[in-house]
A and B are shown apart, each in its own frame.
Chain A
């Protein structure tokens, strides 16, 4: 019981990334990057395809090993307890070969603090309350992404990592997901998301991190970034030009 209380009260932001480098298949993906994610903020990571946005999220989540540097969560190095307070929504949702409700129940078995009624409340929020017994893998793209987000929220995370959560979604799914992200942020969850949708970044993010070729080129407030980007690369990116 004491342990559960401790985990629940655990604060994992601000997140500091110091001189971080990662390699995948011998290719340097993140090259000595440093920045800070503020507590209870929504931070959008922007950058062209192949810039290293997804790898950055995966490194924060502990899926990709750190080659050099460190990531600290409220001054603590990552641990199993800290990782259990994070939830990640992948660009391509990975759903278990089970029904919609059973996908949520799987999380309930891991996270003993939640139960079936929490799962049903979240499914209602994401508009999947009529799909309890529907095979999860037969949902449409938007429904899969909404289920994936509901499953992540069931973990009651302190840090929510969203890898292009609304790519190719219809306006209904997009609005539902954005509303949930904002609601979660108001509750005090720190959120980091990657997106190519500039309008979405403007709507949601308080801070922007712009990366290109594995390097952080800008970290600033969203309104400052969109009004007056500092680097030539960011200006080109916002203008829709190819970054070489």
Chain B
């Protein structure tokens, strides 16, 4: 019980004393997660849209692969990315191992399947609903896709928040490819792992509380979005 109280006290102190190290770690966590989310959306949303609206013979197989990849163990992703970008790996010449770029790549591999699978599901549903109307209106497929994406905006936002939740709370992959280097690749989750291994449980817990608050905020936004969308019958 004492350790919990101590952890709460410490997390308050860290936040309200604007602890430089903490905020550096926090900002790096947010930067890595947001950049990987943005890049994942740039790749995942068009891919999800194509899978939803185009019918080609291996479409279902691709969807099954992405659905399976949603449950990828982060450590396995970290290990694969590590092998690829390590000095002896095929992309070793890029020299990005133990950099935030490597962490972004690893997180993208974890987020893209979520964005692809869920957005494909959402857009397919809306496409089936609008199909006959749009065909009757003789609208171009480009305008139809714009309408699908616009009308699915609330659902897509919730998918993005789910992707962000996965990224910000992930530790296995970023610790392998980032190396948890102080002032360079140390993020919230890797700091928690480090402090725990050092036996500094109250600091680890304090960081955990801050991380939980971020996750809580994301989930709160997610629920608010869902409620608003449902109330307006936009989902």
Q: Which residues of A contact B (CB under 8 A)?
A: 58, 61-63, 80, 83-84, 86-88, 90, 94, 96-98, 106-107, 109-110, 135-138, 155
Contacts and interface: CB of A to CB of B under 8 A. Distances in A.
B234 to A, nearest CB: 5
A7 B165 CA distance: 52
A191 to B, nearest CB: 16
A158 B132 CA distance: 19
A192 to B, nearest CB: 14
A97 B235 contact: yes
B232 A135 contact: yes
A80 B138 contact: yes
B138 A96 contact: no
8 contacts: A61-B136, A62-B135, A62-B138, A63-B132, A80-B138, A83-B138, A97-B235, A110-B137
A interface: dominant SS: mixed
Nearest to B135: A63
Which 9 A-B pairs give the minimum distances between C-beta atoms?
Answer: A137-B233, A94-B133, A97-B151, A135-B233, A88-B136, A135-B232, A97-B234, A138-B233, A83-B138
Interface in B134-181: 135-139, 143, 147, 151-152
B195 to A, nearest CB: 47
B interface: dominant SS: helix
Given A63-B132, A63-B136, A110-B137, A96 B151 contact: yes
A96 B143 contact: no
A154 B147 CA distance: 19
A56 to B, nearest CB: 14
A94 to B, nearest CB: 4
A110 B139 CA distance: 7
A86 B136 CA distance: 8
Given A63-B132, A63-B136, A96 B147 contact: yes
